[in-house]
Structure formats: structure tokens, C-alpha cells
A and B are shown apart, each in its own frame.
Chain A
Amino acid sequence: MFRSGHLKDDQLLECYYAGRTGEALDPRLADHLSTCMECNEQFDTITTFLDDIRTDAEEEADALFTAEHLRTQREHILDRLDQVQRPARVISFPRRDATPAQRSGGRVPPRWLAAAAAAGLFIGVAVGGYFGPERLLRAPGGSSPSRQMVVQPRPSPKPAVLVNSTQPTASDDDAFLMDLELALARPQPRELQAFDAMTPHVRDLR
């Protein structure tokens, strides 16, 4: 049990934790510890080391979690429990006990409504045909500003890249390819090399 007549470190540790938690200690260990000066010193070293660690950690935690914080936390916990206990609110669906006749009677629009919608559509198409966009474009200059805003086509935004509408010439192609070659010859950032590897090269297409 004892090595060279003394307690081993794990036995000293058992003594320490038994003292802390109130567990019953092996009487042989207790007897030896009470009589052996060397083991006692070793036990004191271990006790001091572990107690320092513990005290330090406790002080740190206690500084963080003050009594006020504990009270607040307790309230939060109880509030959460209150929410847990409260049954979820169920949104009631429309009642389904109405008879089909009642449902259809209440939902089907009257016939005059369909007739009014058809008449409106007809009038709209007729007016649209008469005052069509062409006619509105040919409207005289004295028209109202609001109509002008509607009728006048907006100027198209300037394109970001100006493209020559004429057929590309050979010199243009050469300049374009030279630009490409210059771009390829430049040192490439490492981050773009993966994309570069996945993209077909102009030089391969030629």
C-alpha cells in the first residue's frame, strides 16, 4: 500500500478530497498521515496548491456573479418558467358549422357585379383603342404636364461600356487581344488563380 513507507501522491489526493467532501477516509491512511512528518509535509504542499487554485477560481467567479446578478438571474429563470407553463395561444380558424347553402349564399357575388365588371372591361378596351399610345404620342404640344410625363419616352441611360456599332475591324481585334495578353502576362493574385484555372483562356481558343 505504501511506497517506501510513505503515502503516494494519489493517496494524499484521496485524503485531500475525502476531507473536502466529508467522505469516510481509510483509517490506515489517516493514521499514517497523522504520524508521518514527511507525508504531512507533502500533504500540506498538495493542499496549498489545490486550495490556491480553488480560491482563485472562486474569487474570480464571485467577482463576476455578484449577489445582484444572482437575483436577476433567478428572476429570469422564473420568468422563463412562467412562459413554459403558459399554454401557447392558438389562433382560431373560421367556424365550419355553417351549412353549404349558407356559405354559398354569402360568398357568390350577385349577377349585377359580373355585368358591371364586363361593362367596365369593355369601356376600358374601347377607350384604350381610341386613345392608344400612338394617338397620345401625336398629341399636341399644349397637353398637360402629367400626360407628357406619361407619354414621352424616357431617355435611355448611357451605357456603361460604349460599343461601336460598326463592324469590328482587324486593328480593333488586335488591340483587344493585346490587352488580353498584357493582362495575362501580369502577375496574378493567388486568390484568383483558382478561378483562372477554371476559366477557358483566350490563347487556348485561338
Chain B
Amino acid sequence: MSDVQPVRRNKPAPDSPEAPSTGARARTSVPPAAPSADTQLAIEIRSLVDSGAMDEARERFGELVAMHQRRALRIAYQYLRDAAEADEAVQDAFVKVFTHIGSYREAWPFEVWFTRILINGCLDRRKARARRDRWFVPSSDQDSGPETARETVGGSAPADPEARLLARERRDTLAAAIDRLDGRQRTVFMLCHYGDASPRDVSAMTGINESTVRVHLFRAVRKLRGFLGGTS
């Protein structure tokens, strides 16, 4: 947690011509704000790449990676439930961002653009995994559960076996409940809840109407409360 740098959001005014037409308006108008630190950095990297200063651009990109890395891993892990695959998905997303930095437009925060690339990659990986699962029978020694992934990555687990078991059960239940959500509801919930994105951001990331995002979010939470036994 120590290396997570807060990313201040910059949102264009809803009436700005640069804002994507989501078909919905924010309830309260937000004045045009100065670009956030990450957006400024992305613009700077873009100009460095344009001018051919690749080494410096790469160096600055490392700072950008540090800003978004943990959040990206959380989102990717919640999508994929596999640490190694989440790691690859995040790496791929960052590499794609750098190679396409020339097409970044500062009309929307860098965070929105990056998250959109990330979730598209995660969704592709989920589809590929579903295809694999249809055609291949997993061998008995393969277990791609979170516990195996934990060992692969080398993370630390709680020392108390009982606490570890309970935590694992709780997380498995939650993961199963999230997996039972419809595709859009799952995406909206994950981005809002784990990705700290507002419905407006999610609308920009996914291309779904903002009011529809709110409806999906509400339905997702209601379903989750039903699945997990929370009071409704």
C-alpha cells in the first residue's frame, strides 16, 4: 500500500465538446479542472515519444506505471482470479499504453483510458480461458485456484491455518457471487468498487450510458447482497 500514489481525478465539464457522448449528464456540473498528475505525465510522455526521446519517455513511463500498478492489479485479479494471469494482463496493458501513447487524448483522464485498455485485455483473457476450458480437460495436477496462484507469485498468507481457511472460504464465496453477476453488472461493479471509478468514469471506460451504469451498479449490489446473505 505504501507505493500507491493518490491519483487526483480530472473530469472535463459535462458540456465540454471533448466529452464522449454518453447520453447522460452529471447531476451537478463540474468545472473544468486542471489535468491530474498522471494525465500530465502521460501528455509529457507522448510529447517525448513524438520528439524521439525514447529513453527519457521510458523512464517517465516507469513513474506512470508506479502510479497505477496496484490498482490495475487489483482490478485484473478480480476479473481473472489468477495471479499470474492478472500480472500478465497488467503488463500487456502497460505495454499497449506505451506503444499507443501517441493516440492518447487528454479529453479524458489517463486513468480512464488506461482502465479501458486493461479491462478489454482482461475480458479477452476471460473469453480465451472459457474457450480453453471447453476444449481441454484439466489434468489432475493442475489447480489454478487462488491458493496455487498465491504460491506461484510468492505472496504472504496468514500464518494461522484456521484464519487462512476462513479467509479463503469467504473470498471464494465472494468471487463466486461476483461471477454469478451478468457481464455488464460485473464490470460496472468491479470498476466502481475495486477501481474507484465513478459511474461517469465507468461510462467513459465501457461506453455504457451513465444512467445505465448506475442501474447496473444498483442491481449488482442488490444481487450480491442476496447471494451473500446481506440484508436487502
Contacts and interface: CB of A to CB of B under 8 A. Distances in A.
B28 interface: yes
Contacts of B62: 74, 77-78
Nearest to B199: A17
A45 interface: yes
A20 interface: yes
Contacts of B230: 45, 49
Contacts of A63: 150, 155-157
B90 interface: yes
Nearest to A84: B99
A80 B73 CA distance: 18
Task: Name the interface size band of chain A.
Answer: 35 or more
B144 to A, nearest CB: 14
Contacts of A20: 196
Contacts, number: 131
A84 B98 contact: yes
A19 B200 CA distance: 14
A177 B131 CA distance: 48
A61 B201 CA distance: 23
Q: Which of A46, A60, A70 has the most CB of B within 10 A?
A: A60
A116 interface: no
B2 A78 contact: no
Contact of A64 (B90, B153, B193, B200): B153
B146 interface: yes
A181 interface: no
A70 B3 contact: yes
A196 B144 CA distance: 39
Interface stretch (A7-15, A102-110, A197-205): A7-15
B74 A58 contact: yes
B197 A21 contact: yes
Given A10-B218, A73-B87, A64 B3 contact: no
Contacts of B198: 17, 21, 23
A65 B153 contact: yes
A85 B101 CA distance: 13
Interface string B210-230: 000010011001101100101
B41 interface: no
B66 interface: yes
A81 B196 contact: no
A124 to B, nearest CB: 57
A62 to B, nearest CB: 6
A64 B150 contact: yes
A135 interface: no
Contacts of A74: 62, 65-66, 69
Contact of A77 (B9, B91, B157): B91
Given A53-B224, A60-B171, A61-B78, A73 B218 contact: no
Sort A-B residue pairs by CB-CB distance and give the 8 closest, nearest first: A21-B198, A24-B28, A64-B155, A10-B218, A61-B74, A49-B230, A65-B73, A63-B155
Given A10-B214, A78-B62, A84-B98, 4 more contacts: A23-B26, A65-B70, A73-B69, A77-B62
12 contacts: A9-B218, A20-B196, A21-B198, A24-B30, A53-B174, A56-B171, A63-B155, A63-B156, A69-B87, A70-B3, A74-B65, A82-B58
